[in-house]
Amino acid sequence: MERLQQYIDGRFEDGAQAFESLDPATGTPWALIADASAADVDRAVRAADRAFNAPEWAGLTATARGKLIARLADLVAEAAPRLAQLETRDTGKIIRETGSQIAYVADYYRYYAGLADKIEGAHLPIDKPDMEVWLRREPVGVVACIVPWNSQLFLSAVKIGPALAAGCTVVVKASEDGPAAMLEFARLVDQAGFPPGVVNILTGGPEAGKALTTHPLVAHIAFTGGPDTARHIVRASAENLSKTSLELGGKSPFIVFDDADLDSAVNAQVAGIFAATGQSCVAGSRLLVQRSIKDDMLARLKVKAEAVRIGAPGDMATEVGPLCTARQRDRIERIVADSVAAGAKLVTGGKTPDGAGFYFPPTILDCTDTPDAPCMTEELFGPVLSVIAFDDETDALRIANDTQYGLASGVFTRSLTRAHRMIRGIRAGIVWVNTYRAVSPIAPFGGHGLSGHGREGGLAAALDYTTVKTVWLRTSDDPIPDPFVMR
């Protein structure tokens, strides 16, 4: 088995313990992963704190920081094939997705490399004649980045990139499920020439997570994952009043009106729910389709779903691979069964196939008569589409907003005025119109409610890792009057 080490204070090392990582396609161990202890986390955070204050990092100009991040971007681009193979092997994501996504990760680092010397302060037209007042944006300090197993390189880039651009240092806790690509990424950080301690990467379970989120030297916690874990993080951060940004899950509505280009809507829906085997926080898991075209769209989706190629994630012909873990597959199978028992109609899929690996087929459930079925309300994080019919715009908005989540949404219509009404009415951080799952380093990404708070991507993310310092400078040479002498 391959042995992968953690990266602390510019050194690669084993953890206090180690665990086996399973290949989701076969269910067999393939790598031995360093498992960080609370003591390992403490050393990493203290290293990041030292680096934050050391001249090797703190003394760099913003332009020099940007050049280091640009060097990292180039190394990511060069290493993309190797990183993609590791992520595919360790998470089960198909190689045709990991390859293109990791190549795009390099663009995120390039964007933040260019942004590093463009984080500006401001001059205030103050109401006092003998004062100059301006604002400085300064880095908050040590940032704890906690990422889940799906798309770890991407989900860490949208944290590491802006944090480094702002001048912070980071401690990344990769998920204990599928962390191989992140630990390999540490080698690129080392090769890029960042001073020791600026970037630290480790992995581990609840012990490491608790140690990181409660550490008094952590100024900001950036987390991607589920609401339950987020609640623990918020409670853990309260003692130190650490700032948090939370990018959580979703139960995103995908709304199709009867005037939509149905071929485009079907293709976008297939990509929105079956790409990445449905293991995406923005998965379009709730299809809201206007009643008059529901049967037609369901028939087209059934054909598409049943034609999907399920296979080994390393095969370029594979379109849907395995889920990352057995527990995820088992949970999805249970919720689908419970939904059918509650009255949802199984259109296709729904059963775990025979054989090795953590596979689950593309599944469609018609919940028009059972809007409260578990599959309609719970985030499954798998290739399961729940369908419900609506009558008009008012009905569509009611159903779309009937959720505690608020991350993403999609609207398919040829009517520009209707699109604008839906954009205003949908409660979500992202609205895609006549497209789905489009992302860019330039555009902020995030939600509200149980989908979290804060934004990743764009200038907003970099500013989130800064604090504002107000500077007052008195310009008069006259002595300051004695405040206790009446005049």
What is the percent of the chain where pLDDT is above 90? 95
Q: pLDDT tens digits, residue range 388-434?
A: 999 999 999 999 999 999 999 999 999 999 999 999 999 999 999 99
Token pair of 77 as six digits:
């681009």
**What pTM value is reported for the model?**
0.94
Cα 80-85-88 angle, rounded to 5 deg:
120
Q: How confident is the model at residue 15 (pLDDT cuts 50, 70, 90)?
A: confident
Element (H, E) at 51: helix 38-53
Residue range 129-165, pLDDT digits in tens: 999 999 999 999 999 999 998 889 999 999 999 999 9
- In terms of Cβ atoms closer than 10 Å to its own Cβ (0-12, 13-18, 19+), residue 438 is exposed
Q: Is the pLDDT of residue 66 over 80?
A: yes
Is a pLDDT exceeding 80 seen at residue 486?
no
Q: For residue 304, is pLDDT > 80?
A: yes
pLDDT at residue 487 is higher than 70? no
Catalytic residue (one of 184, 247, 378, 379): 247
pLDDT of residue 271: 95
Which token pair is 17?
């313990």
pLDDT in tens, 338-391: 999 999 999 999 988 888 999 999 999 999 999 999 999 999 999 999 999 999
Contact of 30 with 21, CB cutoff 8 Å: yes
**Structural domains for the chain:** 2-247+457-472 (3.40.605.10), 253-433 (3.40.309.10)
Q: pLDDT digits over 203-257, tens only?
A: 998 999 999 999 999 999 999 999 999 999 999 999 899 999 999 999 999 999 9
**Tokens linked to 479:** 């002595």
Known catalytic membership, residue 247 = yes
Tell me if 364 sits within 8 A of 390, measured CB to CB: no
Using pLDDT thresholds of 50, 70 and 90, give the confidence band for residue 47. very high
Average pLDDT, integer, range 99-120: 96
